[in-house]
Amino acid sequence: MEELQHRVDKIRAGRTGLDNQLIDELVAGRISRREFIRRGTVLGMSLGVLGFLAAACGGSSTPSSTATSAAGAVRKGGTMTVGIIAPSAAVNPLTVADEGGLAVLGQAGEYLTWSDDKLNLQPVLAESWSPNADGSVWTFKIRQGVTFNNGQPLKAEDVAKTFKTHSDPKGGSSALSAFAGVLKPAGVEVVDDQTVDFNLDAPNGNFPYLVSSDNYNTIILPANYDYAGKYESSFVGTGPWKMTSFKTGAEVVYGKNPSYWQSGSPNLDTVTLKFYADEQPRVLALQGKQLDVVSQFSASTGQPLFNNPGVKVLELRSVAHRQVHMRTDKEPFTDKRVRQAIGLLLDRPALVQGLLNGKGDLGNDSPFAPVFPSTDTSVAQRAKDVEKAKQLLAAAGKSSFTVTLATWNGYEIPLLAQTIKEAVQQVGGTINLNVTNPSTYYGSAVFGKSPWLDSTMGITDYGHRGVPNVFLSAPLTSAGPWNSAHFKNSGYDALVKEYVAAIDVQAQKAASKKIEELLLDESPVLFPYFHFHMSGTQTNVAGVEPTAMGHIRLTKTGFSG
């Protein structure tokens, strides 16, 4: 026991004040083991150290494996075919904005950190990282001895150039919106051969997620890489796979990268990513044994896979969701009681069961999904209460109203729209549905030229993120570019700043509780549920690492038996 304490003390002596503060929180029982590990990875502590400290100070078990498809005994060699969503455009690290494209980027390319299926950050091309006292400067130590698959060694300059490009307002990067108000090109600084500092526009406690696989455009490329060039002709990167052939719209074939920095990896000899423009054929191809792995399928289309003994389903809790916005500046939603009433009409458990086959978490009308460790789960879950809804509407003088709900025809969204329409009918309201295609719904994606941003009521789909920062700011703050509810609340804006700047988990939780309560009260946007991310493999496949973002890491993948 004394030896254990001695080891703990030794670790603590070598850590920063913020790290020790986090350990204190664990020792005092104010945060769970899961929160401790996840937050520790954000601050740059390794999973090994965190697992030891969690066991020594706050619990008994070690961190769970991050491999969703248990690696087990995997034999070396073999060829695997993986069905992914077809990239919707050229696979260019600057412009990729879809799940197919990012799944391809993540094979030959690597990130500074990897946001795993538990939302922990794992070191990849960054060996370690740490913030200054207020989280306004983050220092990343770059892994040494890594070479790109074109033979160039990885240097701090390469990392700096990558992030300068993506944060440049004139660079044309799809990742620019994530860096808005956080990082400018001038803030990226090479300190020495193995150190890069990120000097942020404002303190940010979750910054390492912005340089992780979550910000999927940011694979590290050589400083002399021409971003205007054609990435598909080289697939340059430090990743485990090296492209052997690429056919636009059809497939990309990879062999092992012989110079990969993790010795002994990957297991397989060859991987083919086959592109599928539609979900149904991917599922059928897995059923028909033409694919070994399917990167993603939805609960509705993938139903035949759930009870299929010939298929393994990999299920990840995610924060992907649908937002039902109600314009706070337009009738009948100017009165918050009307918005609250609509929220009270939704039977969320029934929605999760009926629309998602039970594959989702309940939403509580804020971006704080249950899976985020900073979510304060003590805030009461909003439940269906038709009587209360009627009372609220009567008090607001809106016992009958007519409104048009705009959305687009995809996934389960039209069914959700229909369910809301029927729920509102119970209390005398009328909702007319305007269901179009995604191009029409999103339009030019700026105010005045987009049904998404201009409609009185609408349903929008949002993908997964490792932290709630973007969901809290862009669709809900007064100046948010995606604020379809036109919600303007200075108190809320201040709380978001407080949350974003918070470095320690207690400060984050305190802010999140206040945000959750404010959003429940104001209800500008309803968050009915957060749906799971699902992948599938044949039963003889192991070691597949999907993420809810859409990556599919195949470094440890192989055939078992």
Q: Strand 401-408 vs strand 457-462: parallel, antiparallel, or unpaired?
A: parallel
Closer residue to other proteins, CB minimum distance, 32 or 404: 404
Task: State the nearest-atom distance from the C-beta of 261 to other proteins, in Å.
Answer: 30
Counting every residue written for the chain, the total comes to 561
Find, among 554, 561, 560, 559, the residue nearest to 256 by Cα: 554
Asked whether position 444 contacts other proteins by CB under 8 A, the answer is yes
Residue 31 near residue 505, CB atoms below 8 Å: yes
Which tokens go with 219? Answer: 């694979």
Residues 210-229 that bind other proteins (CB under 8 A): 228
**Summary count for the chain: helices (H), strands (E):** 18, 25
**Cα–Cα–Cα angle for 92, 94, 96, rounded to 5 degrees:** 60
Half-sphere exposure of 327 (CA within 13 A, CB side): 18
Q: How far apart are the first and last CA of the chain?
A: 41
DSSP E strands, 204-261: 241-247, 251-256
**Cα–Cα–Cα angle for 198, 204, 210, rounded to 5 degrees:** 65
Residue in 269, 278, 329, 422 binding other proteins, rule: CB under 8 A: 278
**Cα–Cα–Cα angle for 404, 440, 98, rounded to 5 degrees:** 120
Residue in 36, 114, 138, 452 binding other proteins, rule: CB under 8 A: 452
Half-sphere exposure of 209 (CA within 13 A, CB side): 21
Closer residue to other proteins, CB minimum distance, 195 or 301: 301
Sign of CA dihedral 289, 291, 292, 293: negative
Asked whether position 307 contacts other proteins by CB under 8 A, the answer is no
Asked whether position 52 contacts other proteins by CB under 8 A, the answer is no
Residue 232 class from Cβ within 10 Å (0-12 exposed, 13-18 middle, 19+ buried)?
Answer: middle
Window of 42-50, 272-280, 316-324, 412-420 that interacts with other proteins by CB under 8 A: 272-280
Half-sphere exposure of 229 (CA within 13 A, CB side): 11
Residue in 250, 380, 395, 415 binding other proteins, rule: CB under 8 A: 250
Residues 518-547 that bind other proteins (CB under 8 A): none
Residue in 482, 487, 492, 527 binding other proteins, rule: CB under 8 A: 482
Asked whether position 489 contacts other proteins by CB under 8 A, the answer is no
Asked whether position 443 contacts other proteins by CB under 8 A, the answer is yes
Task: State the nearest-atom distance from the C-beta of 187 to other proteins, in Å.
Answer: 17
Residue in 145, 151, 249, 258 binding other proteins, rule: CB under 8 A: 249
Asked whether position 288 contacts other proteins by CB under 8 A, the answer is yes
Residue in 27, 285, 394, 520 binding other proteins, rule: CB under 8 A: 285
Query: What does the alpha-carbon distance between residue 427 and residue 398 come to, in Å, rounded to a whole number?
Result: 10
Window of 25-33, 56-64, 247-255, 538-546 that interacts with other proteins by CB under 8 A: 247-255
Residue in 73, 380, 395, 446 binding other proteins, rule: CB under 8 A: 446
Which x/- pattern over 421-440 shows residues binding other proteins (rule: CB under 8 A)?
------------------xx
Closer residue to other proteins, CB minimum distance, 267 or 450: 450
Which x/- pattern over 167-196 shows residues binding other proteins (rule: CB under 8 A)?
--xxxxxx-xx--x----------------
Residues that bind other proteins (CB under 8 A): 88-90, 92, 95, 97-98, 169-174, 176-177, 180, 228, 230, 247-250, 274, 276-278, 280-282, 284-285, 287-290, 439-440, 442-446, 449-450, 452, 474, 481-482
